[in-house]
Amino acid sequence: MKILMAASEAVPFAKTGGLADAVSSLSAALASLGHEVRIVIPRYYRIDRGTLKKLEGAMGVPSGGGEEWCAVYTTELPGSGKKNPVIVYFIDHEGFFGREGIYGNPSEPDFLDNPRRFSFFCRSCFQLCRKIDWYPDILHAHDWPAALVPVFLKYGERYGVSGEQGSFAGAASVLTIHNLGYQGIYSKDSFSCTNLGWDVFYQAGFDDWNMMNFLKAGINSADKLNTVSPGYARETLTASQGFRLSQALNGRLEDYSGILNGIDTRVWNPQKDKFLPAPFSSSELGGKAKAKALLQRRFGLKESPETPVIGMIGRLAEQKGIGELFGPSYGSAWSICRDMDIQFIFLGSGDIWAENETLSLSSRLSNFKAHIGYSEELSHLIEGGADFFLMPSRYEPCGLNQMYSLVYGTLPIVRNTGGLADTVENYNQETAGGTGFMFDDLTPSAIYNTVGWAVWAWYNKPEDILTMRRRGMKKDFSWEKSALQYEDLYKQALEKKEVLT
């Protein structure tokens, strides 16, 4: 199949979260299955044009009642294989993307012109295909910034406004929701930027309490849709966890499923991780002890093999349970570090209050260390060297870190939700079963008690800890498995697509 991935992020070019990992890894895995895969993303200011090849000529894109002009750059996705490489295209528009930030910046967290920027981007995907004379079977859109791709396909690109066959008559669309918490909701005054008629505003269901909702229109228009774990798919169908879109999703029940993300095993593999001091595996764990010692030294902690190290990496956002963990005066991190014989290492960035709080904990507690910022190297060292990995997420569509943790023999301590519930099995003291420690309620005391349980097991049931480690390390989270499920979803989308006769 010919597949065009439309997304706002893709590693190694632009990344704010797991979406970027998923887009590139899935593309590479589909290419290994023999599909012709191309990715299109905006050319943000940070992506150096000098490393890319420019396509000849400018490209006109209908936008806001007129036309915007842009350039297109291209390159091959690094590491996607010589025989059948994934081609990446970059839409280069100075006015929309030639600025610092993907969705916003610290002073303007959600750019005011985001509806125009991403509507333009979605329309440019179709113009790109015309320009390169390459028409995909599948248009695969990711999250709200690309959610107008299925809308444009359904209303105008597949069959013209008067019903004539368009160049995309053979194409079907798939929309993947990586996080339902972000929907692209804007004033409907900006709707004209889409170049769609007001009839489509209502037919496609853009309307959202007198606002305009990009993701909702995408959900209603895509031939097939999915999210990134079966557990999260089920949760999003409920009123309490559907972010006000559970009704729209229930309306598409037949076409909606969950496919677990994989992990990039070329990068996340303890047997050949370039950031670790020595390789290790489930049968040879000596390298993990070396990684732990190095991690403790790097963070200025006492080098102590007996003391359990709890790691945590990620965005400091409400979604990640940071209120319950780091909330000043009520969060559990302070009492965990005060009461338990452990070391706690945090790497990440996000909400300013939480960054300040983690730095404050670092200065008040000798066994808590925080590094604010983004570091590929430290993230590998934490996954490799820590004994436990904490993810008290409020919700988690899939989550990557718990999977990295499992294959690195670092036992996850997680809330029983979404992709975490799909990938971690709770410890059973009777049988030494399980691969991690889980809790249901998101409260400071539930986090405290579950970390306490893990620490108790560390000191009192070391043989269980080893058994669980080895069990987790044998798990297969490779993308190949997920790619086969996407292949199947694409086939269903092609069968399902609306055919005018």
Where does this chain bind ligand ADP (CB under 6 A)?
Answer: 17-18, 21, 313-315, 347-349, 374-376, 379, 398-401
CA–CA separation, 226 and 209 (whole Å): 24
CB of residue 96 to ligand ADP, shortest distance in Å? 24
Does residue 145 have a cis peptide bond before it, meaning omega lies within 30 degrees of 0? no
Q: Which residues contact 284 (CB under 8 A, 6 or more apart)?
A: none
C-alpha distance from residue 500 to each of 170, 252, 327, 406 (Å): 11, 21, 56, 49
CA–CA separation, 406 and 408 (whole Å): 5
- Closer CB to ligand ADP, 347 or 413, in the complex: 347
CB of residue 372 to ligand ADP, shortest distance in Å? 8
CA–CA separation, 360 and 109 (whole Å): 25
Q: Which of 306, 301, 438 lies closest to 382 in space, CA to CA?
A: 301
- Closer CB to ligand ADP, 349 or 443, in the complex: 349
Structure tokens at 337: 């570090």
CB of residue 373 to ligand ADP, shortest distance in Å? 6
Place of tokens 């899935």: 26
CB of residue 312 to ligand ADP, shortest distance in Å? 10
Please say whether the beta carbons of 434 and 414 come within 8 A.
Answer: no
CB of residue 331 to ligand ADP, shortest distance in Å? 19
- Closer CB to ligand ADP, 303 or 376, in the complex: 376
- Closer CB to ligand ADP, 17 or 433, in the complex: 17
Please say whether the beta carbons of 183 and 216 come within 8 A.
Answer: yes
CB of residue 419 to ligand ADP, shortest distance in Å? 8
- Closer CB to ligand ADP, 349 or 360, in the complex: 349
CA–CA separation, 481 and 500 (whole Å): 34
- Closer CB to ligand ADP, 259 or 347, in the complex: 347
CB of residue 228 to ligand ADP, shortest distance in Å? 8
Backbone angles phi, psi at 45, to 5 degrees: -50, -35
The alpha carbon dihedral of 325, 328, 330, 335 has a sign of positive
Position closest to ligand ADP via CB: 18
- Closer CB to ligand ADP, 276 or 347, in the complex: 347
